[in-house]
Amino acid sequence: MAFLIPVLLSKRNLDMFVSSSVLWLLLLSCSFSFGVESDINCLKSIKASLEDTLGYLNSSWDFNNNTEGFICNFLGIECWHPHESKVLNIKLSELGLKGQFPRGVENCTSLTGLDLSGNMLSGPLPHDIDKILTWVTSLDLSYNRFSGLIPATLSNCSYMNVLKLDNNQFSGNIPAEVNQLTRLRTFSVANNLLSGQVPPFSEHIASIRRDSYANNPGLCGYPLKPCPSISQKKSLNVVRVFKSNGVIMVAAAGFVLAPSREQGSEHQAFGVGTKRSVPSGRRKLYKLNSKVLNIKLSELGLKGQFPRGVENCTSLTGLDLSGNMLSGPLPHDIDKILTWVTSLDLSSNRFSGLIPATLSNCSYMNVLKLDNNQFSGNIPAEFNQLTRLRTFSVANNPGLCGYPLKPCPSISQKKSVSVARVFKSNGIIMLAAAAHYPILMAFLMHRLLRKQDAGIFIGSVLWLLLSSGFSFGVESDINCLKSIKASLEDTLGYLNSSWDFNNNTEGFICNFLGVECWHPHESKVLNIKLSDLGLKGSFPKGVANCTSLTGLDLSSNQLNGPLPTDIDKIITFITSLDLSSNSFTGQIPMKLSNCSYLNVLKLNNNKFSGIIPPELGQLTRIKTFSVANNQLSGPVPNFNNTSIGPESYANNTGLCGGPLKHCPPPLEVCRSAAKKSSIVKVLNSYNVAIAAAAGFGFGFPFSFCFFLPRAPSVRYLVVFARRFKS
């Protein structure tokens, strides 16, 4: 700071700072004004280009409004900030929309997500779709009627994480260029009319499976059937000969020639090179000298370490020990044990330590599955020598790094985990933590004016403020997850096997099961999704330490007890909260109404009782709300900005109002109470005696209340008994 003061007090620098700041503010305000106007025009164009058969857009998208951020309350629209008309996501799923792909989307210049699934949209996609969806990370066009070719220019949408084109009428080839989308995690083109070879995703994406291509009979290539070569197309009935572990196996005939590895001791079975024919009806691989071909011991509850005795199965080609509780490190000389193995599946165990580099010497390996363990360290670079490898998985090993996972941190990164990252894109400097707007403006001023002294000042302040801010955020998020793990009983062991805090690599918590981060190499938690993991306990208050959390899903567990009364302090910025299918009890906290960013609130299938707080009607952004299958009563909230159907309140017999039956007026309540009172049995003699003495005094006024001038005398007794007990 002593260095910064004279720089700041310098008149030349001060004048430069003031004038540049004014210039920057003018530019910034102009750009925001333009951005807001373009986003409004974007939505106007979308509405005009689509046929709104069910009237959802016509009833919600009202442009006769000039308040700031008014479009952020439109159905299916999510903004970057609630009071600024900059569209972040457009979600118009299952609204009965008709028409073609809405080109007006390109005017939403900050759009990151577009979901038009489940409608009746048709026609081809624009050939220049990359110009329309430049920054989009998630595109869902599934369950429509789009046709024609899939545009190759989609490969230019380099930020794409999710691409769903399934259940349409696309034809032709899948563009090979799609494999350039290195960030892609979800991809589906199932149920179309596609043909040809599928893109070779296997090098950087292990999660794209056969079901991503289902019901496109013309598709081929990994993970589907191999694409036929020219000679195979000419002769489809060629007998395929496979060589594995020194055994020649003819797939068409079912017989083998099995030479021993020891010279001079060959043995021949029925088949190739013999004059003996295969006995009638015998179409299977013959056992020869009790040679073990495959060992499959999946999900048998086995405990212990890797069984070294496998090396005595000298003809073994496949070993599957997945889904057990095996632990400890793998043998460093594993290549000597599994010399001829072509398929090795050790997934879903508790193996730990380094992955042996000697596995790269198992040159026949086609399948290698090591996912869902506790391996750490680098993925051996020597694995690129496994030229036959077709299936490879190391997912959910929190301590692992290296290609194709996150890069392993260098020494400098380990020393300074909390360094602020500055990204440059499209001529704009973007800081990873967008909260530091004054510093951001000053930094941009320096970039515009290219002045050395200003750079010294601004750069120093930027480093001090941002590095300290990130350090605090990262540490608090790690403590958040530690607290959650400590407060819940992990009956199925999912958290114990995945949430390993014995790690100091940058962003390590982002590999935890159910944890999504803002950036894969920075421990800032965006979403926590722990659905259906068998968790027990009460609501984890430690969630409050995840200060950037926007989504929390604890559904389908065994959580119980009441929700915290100060829940608004715990999940301040949450947009989606799913606590459904648990055993939560007590009343729904009134302070949930202070969680003003909530879009989704699911409390169904619990044991909540009492009334639904009417203040929840103040949640103006709410789009999905459900309290079905609880023990609630009283009037339902009045949601002004969305339509909540009766199914959201189902199986709460005491609820009324809104989409349910009308709540009865006080007089009706009085009559209803009288009818029920007629079946109450007074069994206590003491109460009966007092009822007889005082029945007239209490019964007479009640008879007028219920307009029952000739009510039976027992009613007076019953009413008094209930009154006395209360």
Q: Is the peptide bond before 217 cis (omega within 30 degrees of 0)?
A: no
Half-sphere exposure of 304 (CA within 13 A, CB side): 8
Crossing angle (nearest 10°) for helices 685-705 and 666-677: 140
Residue 217 clears pLDDT 50, i.e. is over it: yes
What average pLDDT score do residues 150-168 get? Answer: 93
Q: Is the pLDDT of residue 277 over 50?
A: no
Looking at the DSSP assignment, which residues form a beta bridge with residue 193? 171
Looking at per-residue pLDDT, the higher value among 8 and 229 belongs to 229
Residue 374 has pLDDT above 50, yes or no: yes
Q: Say which residue, 306 or 426, is predicted with more confidence.
A: 306
184 versus 140: the higher-pLDDT residue is 140
User: 599: left (phi > 0), else alpha (psi -120 to 50), else beta?
Assistant: alpha
Average of per-residue pLDDT across 83-105:
92
What pLDDT, on a 0 to 100 scale, did the predictor assign at position 442? 47
Using pLDDT thresholds of 50, 70 and 90, give the confidence band for residue 143. Answer: very high
Q: Report the C-alpha gap between 89 and 114 in whole angstroms.
A: 6
150 close to 171: Cβ distance less than 8 angstroms: no
Whether pLDDT at 15 is above 60: no
**182-207 pLDDT, tens digit each:** 888 889 999 999 999 988 875 555 46
Q: What pLDDT was estimated at residue 52?
A: 93
518 pLDDT band (50/70/90 cuts)? confident
**Above 90 in pLDDT, residue 141?**
yes
Residue 290's pLDDT is what? Answer: 60
pLDDT, tens digit, 9 for 90 and up, residues 386-443:
888 888 888 888 788 876 776 766 534 433 333 333 333 333 333 333 333 444 444 4
- Among the residue ranges 124-138, 376-390, 563-577, the one predicted with the least confidence is 376-390
Q: How many helices (H) and strands (E) does the chain have?
A: 14, 41
Tell me the three state secondary structure of residue 279: coil
Cα end-to-end span (Å), the chain: 72
Better pLDDT: 290 or 169: 169
* pLDDT band, residue 255 (cuts 50/70/90): very low
- What's residue 269's pLDDT? 34
pLDDT of residue 481: 93
| The predicted structure's pLDDT at residue 222 | 81
Long-range contacts of 585-590 (CB under 8 A, 24+ apart): 585/560, 585/561, 585/609, 586/561, 586/562, 586/610, 587/562, 587/611, 588/563, 588/612, 588/613, 588/616, 588/627, 588/632, 589/563, 589/564, 589/565, 589/613, 590/615
pLDDT digits (tens, 9 = 90+) for 474-501: 788 899 999 999 999 999 888 988 898 8
Pick from 270-274, 444-448, 523-527, 599-603: least confident:
270-274
Q: pLDDT value at position 640?
A: 78
Segment 452-477, tens digit of pLDDT:
444 544 554 444 444 444 434 578 88
- Choose among 16, 25, 3: nearest CA to 454: 16
Among all chains, which residue has been given the structure tokens 């879903």?
348
pLDDT number for residue 507: 79
25-66, pLDDT tens digit by residue? 444 444 343 447 889 999 999 999 999 999 999 999 988 887
Report which DSSP code applies to 204.
Answer: T
Q: Decide: helix, strand or coil at residue 591.
A: helix
Residue 235 has pLDDT above 60, yes or no: no
pLDDT at position 215 is 92
Residue 542's pLDDT is 92
Assign 666 a pLDDT band (cuts: 50, 70, 90).
low
What pLDDT is stored for residue 697 in this prediction? 54
Q: Quick one: 582 exposed, middle or buried, by C-beta within 10 A (0-12, 13-18, 19+)?
A: buried
Q: Which of 236, 273, 237, 113 is nearest to 186 (CA)?
A: 113
pLDDT above 90 for 129: yes
- The residue with greater pLDDT, 49 or 269, is 49
Q: Is the pLDDT of residue 610 over 80?
A: yes
Q: Report the chain's mean pLDDT, rounded to a whole number.
A: 75
| Token pair recorded at residue 428 | 């704009």
Q: How confident is the model at residue 639 (pLDDT cuts 50, 70, 90)?
A: confident
User: Which of 205-214, 550-559, 662-671 is predicted most confidently?
Assistant: 550-559
Write down the pLDDT at residue 418: 35
Q: Render pLDDT for 308-354 as a digit per residue (tens, 0 to 9).
A: 999 999 889 999 999 999 999 999 899 999 989 999 999 999 999 89
Please give the Cα distance from 532 to 543 (Å, whole number). 18
Q: What is the pLDDT of residues 551-565, one digit of tens each?
A: 999 999 999 999 999
420: which DSSP letter?
A: P
Q: Determine which of 128-137, 411-420, 518-527, 599-608 has the lowest per-residue pLDDT on average.
A: 411-420
Answer whether residue 510 shows pLDDT above 60: yes
Tokens matching residue 577: 């909260």
